[in-house]
Structure 1
Amino acid sequence: MPGREEITYFGAGPALLPTNVLKTAAAALVNYNGTGLGLAEHSHRSELATNIVNTAKADLAKYLDVPDDYEILFMQGGGSGEFSATVYNLVAVWVEKRKQKILKELGIEAGKDIPEDVLLKELQKAVDEELKIDYLVTGSWSLKASQEATRLVGAEHVNLVADARKVNDGKFGKIPEESSWKLSKNAAMVYFCDNETVDGVEFPGFPEILKPSGGEEPIVVADMSSNILSRRIPIKNFSLIFFGAQKNLGSTGITVVIIKKSLLPPAVATPAPTLLRKLGLPIGPIVLSYETIAKNNSLYNTLSIFDVFIAGQVLQNLLATFPDKVDGQQAVAEKKAKLIYAALDAHPESYKLANIDESEKLFLKGAVEQDVAKNTIYLRCDITYIVSNDPENKKITLHTVGIFTLDAVAGKGLIGEGEGEGIMEKIEVYIDLSPVLGRVEELNAGGK
C-alpha cells in the first residue's frame, strides 16, 4: 500500500488536505485538547465549539482581508443549497426595500400604519412588473443556479444577462463581451460563477460593468467554490460570496457565505412569511435564512464543528506559510498553472485545450493569458483540455489550486470527462507530467 508521500492526488473535490492538518484532526477526533472526548462528540452549543467557529471566521477574514462591514457564515447544503438560499434571501431583501420605497412614495411616515390591501396591491404590482433576478450564464454551474431560480420564482422573474453558448456555437467556453450584457434595472441580484470548473471558464477579474459607480449599486453575488483563496478578491465590490469548503478550504460538510451586513437585520428587515406568501413568492427553509444563521453565529442548528476545525487548521497553515496572505497563494497557483500549460503545449498531437482552436491560441509554453479580442479565457485553477486520440474525445480538467496540491478534476461526469478510475492512467499515457509534478510537489511543500 502506498504512503501519502508517494501519491500525487487527482480528485474532483474533496481535494487533498495537508498531512499535518489531517494528523492534528485525527488526534482531535479521538481526544480534543485533553477533554477525553473527540471533537465530533462535543456539543455544537458549547464554548469550545463557539471558539472554533470564531477563530475560523477571524482567520478567514484575515487571510482574505474581509472588511468589518461583512459577516461570515458557516452553513450547510453546499453550492446547490446556495443556489436556493441566494434567491430566498435576496428576493426578500428586494421586497422589503420595495415596500419601504412604496411607503415613502405614499407619504406614509415610519411607524404609521397603512391599510394592508393598499400596500399589498402596490407591492404585488411591483413584484409582477419589476422583480428580476439576473444571471450571467457562462457554464454548467451558473446554468444550474439560474434553473433553480426559475423553479422557485418562475421564468418571468429570471433574466439571463448573457448566455455564453450564444457566442460560442452553442457551447460554453467563453465569456460574452460586457457590452452585450442585458442587465435589469434594480435586480434583486446579479449572479455569476467566478470559476466554471466543468467548462473551463474563469473570470479574469471583477466585471467592469458591475463595479460600484456612486449611484445605486447592483447586488452582486458570486459562486467562488473552486477558486476561493487562490487570488486577491475585491470583496467590497461584492454583496455576497459563497463557496463550498471541500475544494480549497477543508473537508466536505460546510459552506461559507461572506455577506454584506447591509443585507441583514437591523440594516434591512426581513418581510413576514405571510406577506411573501400573499405575493406568491417562495419562503425558504429556516436553515437557509442568512438572518437566522448570522443571529446565531452559525450555530442555529447542528453545524459540523469538526469540519469547521479542519478549515480553521488549513487557514492557520496558509497564514503561517504565506506572510503576504492570499497574495502568496495566488503566486503559487499561477506557477502551477503555467507548469501544466507548458506540459500540455509540449504535446499538441495528444492534447487540445477544450475552449480554443489553433487560430485562437495565444499562449507560448505556459503563459496564462486572456484573449481580449475573442474573450478566450485561460484558467489558473481549472485547465480543461481534450485528449485528442481518445476515441470518446473526453474532456479532463486539471485543478491546480487545491491546498498545497495539484488536483485533477474529473468534472463530475457532467460532460463525459474521464472520471474516477483511469484518469491518472490517461494522463500518464498521453502526457509526460513527471518533471511538472516534481516541481508542483516543491510548490506544495511551500517553495516559491
Structure 2
Amino acid sequence: MTKRAFNFNAGPAALPLEVLQQAQEQFVNYHGAGMSIMEMSHRSKEYEQVNNDAQSLLRRLFHIPDNYHVLFLQGGASTQFAMLPMNLLQPGRPGAYVMTGSWAKKALKEAQLIGETAIAATSEGDSFTRIPSLSDIEVPAEAAYLHITSNETIEGTQYGAYPNVADHATLIADMSSDILSRPVDIKQFGMIYAGAQKNLGPSGVTLVIIREDLAASSPKHLPAMLRYDTHVKANSLYNTPPSFSVYMVKLMLEWIEARGGVSQVEQYNRDKTNLIYDAIDQSGGFYRGVAQAASRSTMNITFRIHDAELEKQFILQSEAQGFVGLKGHRDVGGLRASTYNSVPLESCRALAEFMKEFQKNNG
C-alpha cells in the first residue's frame, strides 16, 4: 500500500484509513444493490436508511435532546452565516457576535447585510490571539441571539467554556472546526452548525442542530431552501442531498463510536496536541505559539519560528519528509498544524520529532 502522508491540512482534512477503506469496499456495490451510493435515488429506502442512521448516531454520540432537529444541508458554514440571521433576526432585536478571528468576522459581515447586529466582545486589540473572557461578553438585553465561533481555525484559538446567556438570548455556535472533538451540553445552545470537512467527513455537507422552536419560527417570506422549517419537514430530503458526503459522515460517526465515543476522542486529541505544544514550549524560544496559552486550540496549532526564512525552510523540509498542510493560512502566515479527530497520534509524534530535529539543525 502507498505510504500515507502526515496530513495536517486545515480542511478538507484527514479521514481515518479504516473509514476510507470501508468506503472503498462499498463504493461500486453498496450492500448488494448493484450500484454505488452515489448512483442511488435519494428517495430510495437504502439512502433514507443512511440518512436516518447518520442522524441517530449523531444524536447518540452528542447526546442531542429530542426537542432538537438534526439537519444535513449544503453550502457550508458560509451559507449559515446568512441563513441564520435570515431566519432568526427580528426588528429591534439584533444579533450579537463575539469577535474572535477571521471566521467570526465573516459571520458578522453576512449578518450585517440582513439586519441589526452588535459586537458583544472582541479580542481584535490582541490580534485575536485569545478568546475574550466570558465576563467581558456584553449581550444587549433585546438581542435575538449571541453568536460565537467555538474554534478559530486560522488563529488557533478555542473556547474553554461557553457563555451562559439562556436568561435573555439564544446561544448559537459555529463549531465547524471542533464539532465532536469534545462533549458539549447541547441544551446550552439554540443552534449549532458545522461544515463536515474537518471533523465529520468530507466536504459537501453541513450539519445543523437546531432547537425545534427556532426552526418553527422561520419567516414564510424566505425562499424555501433558506428556511430551516423546510428542511425539518422534509427530513433533510427537500432537494437532492449530498448523498455520498452524508454516507461518509455516517461512517465517521461509526468510527467515533467504535473508539469509545466523544469523551475518549477528546482525551486522544489532548494527548496528540500536547506532543506538539510541548515541542513548542520546550524549544527555548525557537518556536513561539501564536495563541495565548489559556485560549489554545486542540484542533489548530498555530506557531512561528523567530526567522521568516527558517519558516520557509521548515515548510520545504517537512514536505520532503511527507508532512502536508503545515503552512499557515495566507492571511496570517506562519505555521499551522491541524490535528482534527482523524489525525493519528503517530502523525503528531512524527511532527514533534521533526520539529526537535529541525531546531537542532538550525538553532
> What TM-score, normalized to structure 1?
0.70
Give the total of aligned pairs. 338
**Contact (CA 8 Å) 2:215, 2:228: kept in 1 or not?**
yes
1:359-398 aligned at under 5 Å gives the runs 370=294, 377-391=295-309
CA distance in structure 2 between the partners assigned to 1:317 and 1:293 by the alignment: 27
| Post-superposition CA distance 1:340-391 (Å, at most 9, x none) | 11111232342111134xxxxxxxxxxxx62xxxxxx122222211122224
Distance 1:143-1:326 versus aligned 2 partners, 3 A rule: same
CA distance in structure 2 between the partners assigned to 1:411 and 1:14 by the alignment: 15
| Post-superposition CA distance 1:13-51 (Å, at most 9, x none) | 112111221122123321111111111010112111111
Whether 2:332 is the aligned partner of 1:415: answer yes
Larger Rg: 1
Distance 1:292-1:417 versus aligned 2 partners, 3 A rule: farther
Indicate the residue corresponding to 1:76 in structure 2: 74
Root-mean-square deviation (CA), in Å? Answer: 2.7
Matched residue SS, 2:80:
helix
Indicate the residue corresponding to 1:86 in structure 2: 84
Amino acid at match of 1:234: D
CA distance in structure 2 between the partners assigned to 1:245 and 1:176 by the alignment: 26
Distance 1:336-1:81 versus aligned 2 partners, 3 A rule: same
CA distance in structure 2 between the partners assigned to 1:239 and 1:20 by the alignment: 34
1:36-435 aligned at under 5 Å gives the runs 36-91=34-89, 94=90, 127=91, 130-153=92-115, 157-166=116-125, 168=126, 171-208=127-164, 210=165, 212=166, 216-265=167-216, 268=217, 270-273=218-221, 283=222, 285-322=223-260, 325-356=261-292, 370=294, 377-391=295-309, 410-417=327-334, 431-432=355-356
Indicate the residue corresponding to 2:2 in structure 1: 3
Distance 1:429-1:337 versus aligned 2 partners, 3 A rule: closer
**Contact (CA 8 Å) 1:197, 1:382: kept in 2 or not?**
yes
Q: Share of identical aligned residues, percent?
A: 33
Amino acid at match of 2:69: E
Matched residue SS, 1:233:
coil
CA distance in structure 2 between the partners assigned to 1:20 and 1:151 by the alignment: 43
CA distance in structure 2 between the partners assigned to 1:15 and 1:75 by the alignment: 19
> What TM-score, normalized to structure 2?
0.86
CA distance in structure 2 between the partners assigned to 1:430 and 1:207 by the alignment: 38
How far the C-alpha of 1:392 sits from its partner, in A, is 8.6
Matched residue SS, 1:74:
strand
**Contact (CA 8 Å) 2:87, 2:219: kept in 1 or not?**
no
Matched residue SS, 2:98:
strand
**Contact (CA 8 Å) 2:54, 2:253: kept in 1 or not?**
yes
Matched residue SS, 2:34:
coil
* Structure 2: unaligned runs, 5 residues or longer: 316-322, 338-347, 359-363
CA distance in structure 2 between the partners assigned to 1:433 and 1:288 by the alignment: 51
| Post-superposition CA distance 1:205-245 (Å, at most 9, x none) | 1124x2x3xxx441110011111111110110000000111
CA distance in structure 1 between the partners assigned to 2:206 and 2:327 by the alignment: 21
Distance 1:72-1:8 versus aligned 2 partners, 3 A rule: same
Matched residue SS, 2:283:
coil
